[in-house]
Structure 1
């Protein structure tokens, strides 16, 4: 394995992608540490992917996920939640393990450099904005008043919410409440649960 990959046509070296820490060991230190480690992991991982993109495809736009992560991490109400990404989108969970509980909208970085803010489950679009800071403000405007720090465990462990099983493709949950996200471990796609 090449420890110092180069981009297309041998363009410039790229630092080695760092190896993430053991998630189970981090979770054992408590939910606050798990949340902080996840923010760091996403920042490093998305930063590396952006740099890799710049090496491989110079001049080609890259979604503003890194900028979005920085803006969200600077906001205490979101920084206390467990962040995760799926299909370039940034989500925030109220628990530290999969399947997640999502109580706030997610942000989709668009190809044109803007950001779309949507509700998980229904797909309701709240707004489309120009900056990461504006996107974070929209998420916060739609956050519940009782939003607190992420807790240890997963949606099933919390036991206070009814699990919604998705119907046919495109069907959505008619009710409100938190969304259970079953995306196959962060790879995207999954069934999406409430």
Structure 2
């Protein structure tokens, strides 16, 4: 597992890149455990979502994190995060829901992770990114 604490010490660019490498490994482990503890029950589509988002340069410069199977993107590298980009939730039926960063209003639902990521990108605020070191509090937000 990539060492996120060491990456934070090297700066925001390393922290973001390390988190993008760490996130799929974490979810692969969770999916493997799920296969043992809950055989026969579908695992949410978080891994294809992380892969699709990580392939997009505009999202790759933001700090990714998950909460309750939802993929979010922060403008800063430490908690409390600053979420200014839409979030994506994999649905039980295999589709994906994209929600606004404030208030969680549904922007749309898509059939694939790639379509959801495109929807996120089309709703990014102008000039967003790259993520900076620190917290939302450090940025005064």
* Aligned: 1:58 with 2:31: no
Secondary structure at 2:137 match in 1: helix
Structure 1 residue 101: Cα displacement: 0.7
* Aligned: 1:21 with 2:13: no
Q: In structure 1, what is the equivalent of residue 20 of structure 2?
A: 39
* Aligned: 1:133 with 2:108: no
**Compared with structure 1, are the counterparts of its residues 32 and 109 closer, same or farther at alpha carbon in structure 2 (3 Å cutoff)?**
same
Distance 2:85 2:102 in 1: 11
Aligned length: 141
Higher helix share: 2
Gaps of 5+ in 1: 1-17, 162-194
Gaps of 5+ in 2: none
Secondary structure at 2:44 match in 1: coil
Distance 1:54 1:83 in 2: 25
TM-score w.r.t. structure 2 length? Answer: 0.94
**Compared with structure 1, are the counterparts of its residues 78 and 22 closer, same or farther at alpha carbon in structure 2 (3 Å cutoff)?**
closer
**Compared with structure 1, are the counterparts of its residues 114 and 29 closer, same or farther at alpha carbon in structure 2 (3 Å cutoff)?**
same
Q: In structure 1, what is the equivalent of residue 50 of structure 2?
A: 69
Q: In structure 1, what is the equivalent of residue 81 of structure 2?
A: 100
RMSD of aligned C-alpha atoms?
Answer: 1.3
Secondary structure at 1:156 match in 2: coil
Structure 1 residue 126: Cα displacement: 0.2
Higher alpha-carbon Rg: 1
Distance 1:118 1:95 in 2: 20
Secondary structure at 2:82 match in 1: strand
Structure 1 residue 81: Cα displacement: 0.4
Distance 1:114 1:22 in 2: 31
Secondary structure at 1:100 match in 2: coil
**Compared with structure 1, are the counterparts of its residues 130 and 139 closer, same or farther at alpha carbon in structure 2 (3 Å cutoff)?**
same
Kept after mapping to 1: 8 A contact 2:70/2:87: yes
Structure 1 residue 56: Cα displacement: 2.9
Structure 1 residue 28: Cα displacement: 1.1
TM-score w.r.t. structure 1 length? Answer: 0.69
